[in-house]
Amino acid sequence: MIKITVKTGGLLGEHLPTGCDDQAVLELQNGTSINQVLEKLEMPVEDFYLIILNDQVVPVDERAKPLLNEGAELGIYPPLKGG
Amino acid sequence: MSWQGKILRVDLTSGKITVEDLNMDWARQYVGERGLASKYLLEEMDPKADPLGADNVLIFATGPLTGTMASTSGRYCVVTKGPLTGAIACSNSGGKFGADLKYAGYDMVIITGKSDRPVYLLIEDDEVALMPADDLWGSTVWETESWLKQRHNNQMLKVASIGLAGENLVRYACIVNDLHRAAGRSGVGAVMGSKNLKAIAAFGSKGVKVSDPARFMRVVSDSHETMQGHRSRKQFTKLGTHPMLDMMNNFGGLPTRNFDDTRFDGVDKINAKASHTENANGHTNFITNKACFGCTIACGRIAHIDEKHFSIINRKEYWHASGGLEYETAYAFGPLCGIDDIDALTFAGFLMNEHGMDPISFGGTLAAAMELFEKGIIGSDDTDGVELKFGNSEALTIMAEKTGKHEGFGKVLGLGSRAMCEKYGHGEIAMQVKGQEFAGYDSRALQGMGLGYATSNRGACHLKHDTFGPDMEDQTGSGKADPCRVSQDFTAMLDSTGLCLFTASAGLKEPVFRELLNAACGHEWSEEELRICGERIWTIERMFNLKAGFTAKDDTLPERLKTVPAPSGTAKGKVSALDEMLPEYYQLRGWSSDGVPLAGTLERLGLADLTVDGK
């Protein structure tokens, strides 16, 4: 098992475990992919996401790979634009 | 049809007011608002004219969907030659003013000349008059709006006015309507000030007719439903644009301390969460959201400042609710100036609305002044004794007020970052394109954004294209030129309809906008025809600038972004790849390597009569 920290933006904190605000520590099986984290958190599937793993952007085609390690920091951000 | 078919023409030199028919061929080629006003501007003025002289033309324009039942239909824009940049200016605003101008029966107001005394323009349907404004000159935006409503005994009057900044020709003065919505960028308020025009007050009762009401209402209803269920719409409603601060900070694209860094340590103290959280005094910054005319998104923020905060502790006149922090204001006063005091940011925002100034350009200019100060190029003798150091929240509020009132060092800040930094012999410190300061996205982290900044016809601007998706997928210059070009053309079209750009972020797609236009206007644009409209609009703006004397050399970014690597975040070590993207962009546009539209391109767009050295 590994522990990672998930940070979210916008309203996505609503999908974190109860009691969390916009970030949470998750315990996961070794080898869990980012897509599996999105699925576990029931993030809306129709959205485009900016995914940042340990200060690196993760493109869509990398998100099925087992990139998560112990202590990883995973940022999940919805489509946002400034005005 | 939903165009009113009429233009109100006001010559301030002679005082003559006339009404003329809208050129319907141009309406179909340029749609309305931004596009149509740009066409009239190009036809009616010499692009080389002094932007603050009598020969500049100032156009207030609505779109064919302004004032209709379509969501966000309160938009209008101001098109003129901008004094901050010397380029074409197109500043778009919401609120309710645009709809009333349309309801009075006019698609556009074209203002020429210069009045020899302060005046305001009163429009009440067919009754239009220039009224003396000597007693309003020197008043704030908020006072002007209140007094005009009282004077004409009409609380339904909608007012677009300038404050002291516009009167004093602050180069980034804006035009504020409905107290805290603004045609904000490029100094359109200074053009109004230069013409001695204090305000336009409009009341309309004529409504707007659409060509096919049943068809129109079907697509209005469908589009409301689409937006209602869309996650981005919900986010805008609950949090506005403020959450972008966390996202850009974690991404590492948040310009900090005049672009010295791409992340800001104090972001937790000024972000959306902070604005919704009680401070030690039990005060919460955010009060509620607010919608513009006909809007079902309601991204606007209403906030108040802690009465115990240093900025207003002895100033009860500011103990009230007003326009709160949106992303760009929070960025420009916060990270860009290194300040993490949410009440100071909010107060400076109030001052921007009260005196009529663009927060992005003010923040960018103040940040440049702070760098000049920190490097010892200017000292406290220059800055009225104020320590202009990054992080000094008192310096922010003092200088916002001084600039608005045109006092002391505020007069220098009112020049904008480029002219100010050149005055002190350090033009390289000004972070700008064509004289206009940057929005809150660092070009080293968002490569397509950098290309959009460099090629935007009104100087650095984040609202004239949309490459957020590609920029967040890949941080190289590869594959950015085409999405930049395509989104510039699409945005030019959407800006010309009378709707807000946020409709596209909240789930509406091109077929919806086309169906709204076709049902409202009684003209059937195909997808390709509407795309061409957007490209045509972008191109005539470009032609205006080329005629004004701009060249490809102006399609650039500050050296700092091209040579100094991003110090932190996902783009750590990267610089802007502009020099790689720009040639591809020109080629895709059908422009020469010097950035001039080729004859075949102009012909394809129906612009064969335009040449750089011609009219």
Q: Which helix (H) or strand (E) covers residue B92, if one does?
A: strand B88-93
A62–chain B Cβ distance below 8 A for any pair: no
Query: What type of residue sits at position B51?
Result: P
Q: For residue A7, give the chain B residue with the closest CA.
A: B250
A13 Cα to chain B: minimum distance (Å)? 12
Task: Give the residue numbers spanning the domain of A43.
Answer: 2-77
What mean pLDDT comes out for the span B322-345? 98
pLDDT at B518: 98
Q: For residue A75, give the chain B residue with the closest CA.
A: B250
Q: Which chain A residues touch B235 with a CB distance below 8 Å?
A: 10-11, 78, 80
Class of domain B444-454+465-604: mainly alpha
CATH architecture of B242-436: Orthogonal Bundle (1.10)
Domain-located, residue A83: no
Determine what percent of chain B is predicted with pLDDT higher than 70.
100
What gap in Å lies between CA B578 and CA B556, rounded to an integer?
Answer: 8
What mean pLDDT comes out for the span B454-479? 94
Q: The tokens of B436 are what?
A: 């206009």
A27–chain B Cβ distance below 8 A for any pair: no
Which residues contact residue A83 at a Cβ distance below 8 angstroms, ignoring those fewer than 6 apart? Answer: B240, B241, B299, B326, B327, B328, B463, B501, B502
What gap in Å lies between CA B36 and CA B41, rounded to an integer?
Answer: 9
Q: A40-78 burial string, b = 16+ CB within 10 Å, else e?
A: ebebeeebebbbbbebebbeeeebeeebbeeebebbbbb
> How many domains are there within chain A?
1
CA B158 and chain centroid, separation: 20
Q: The tokens of B212 are what?
A: 């096919």
pLDDT 10s digits, A50-66: 999 999 999 889 999 99
Domain-located, residue A82: no
Site from A20, A55, A56 to mutate, B interface, most B CB atoms within 10 angstroms: A55
Is A78 a residue whose pLDDT tops 90? no
What gap in Å lies between CA A48 and CA A54, rounded to an integer?
Answer: 19
pLDDT 10s digits, A15-46: 999 888 899 999 999 999 999 999 999 998 76
What gap in Å lies between CA B366 and CA B353, rounded to an integer?
Answer: 17
The answer to whether the Cβ–Cβ distance between A11 and B239 falls below 8 Å is yes
* Residue of A22, A60, A80 with shortest CB distance to B244: A80
pLDDT 10s digits, B547-578: 999 999 999 999 999 999 999 999 999 999 99
pLDDT at A47: 64
* Residue of A7, A10, A48 with shortest CB distance to B235: A10
Domain-located, residue A54: yes
Q: Tell me the domain boundaries of chain B.
A: 6-203, 242-436, 444-454+465-604
What mean pLDDT comes out for the span B307-333? 97
Computed over every residue of chain B, the mean pLDDT equals: 97
B281 Cα to chain A: minimum distance (Å)? 22
DSSP B16: E
Determine what percent of chain A is predicted with pLDDT higher than 70.
94
Residue from B481, B442, B468 nearest B575 by CA: B442
pLDDT 10s digits, B573-613: 999 999 999 999 999 999 999 999 999 999 999 999 998 76
pLDDT at A46: 64
B543 Cα to chain A: minimum distance (Å)? 27
Q: Name residue B307's beta-bridge partners.
A: none
pLDDT at B615: 40
Confidence label for B404 from pLDDT (cuts 50, 70 and 90): very high
The answer to whether the Cβ–Cβ distance between B502 and A79 falls below 8 Å is no
Tell me, what CATH number does A19's domain have? 3.10.20.30
- Characterise A42 by phi-psi region: left (phi > 0), alpha (psi -120 to 50), beta (else): left
| CATH annotation of B6-203 | 3.60.9.10
The answer to whether the Cβ–Cβ distance between B505 and A81 falls below 8 Å is yes
* Residue of A48, A55, A83 with shortest CB distance to B327: A83
A61–chain B Cβ distance below 8 A for any pair: no
Q: Which chain A residues touch B440 with a CB distance below 8 Å?
A: 82
Dump the DSSP string for A28-61: E-TT--HHHHHHHTT--TTS--EEEETTEE--GG
Determine what percent of chain A is predicted with pLDDT higher than 90.
73
DSSP B591: B
Which residues contact residue B349 at a Cβ distance below 8 angstroms, ignoring those fewer than 6 apart? Answer: B323, B324, B325, B329, B333, B359
pLDDT at A82: 63
Q: For residue A10, give the chain B residue with the closest CA.
A: B243
DSSP B87: S
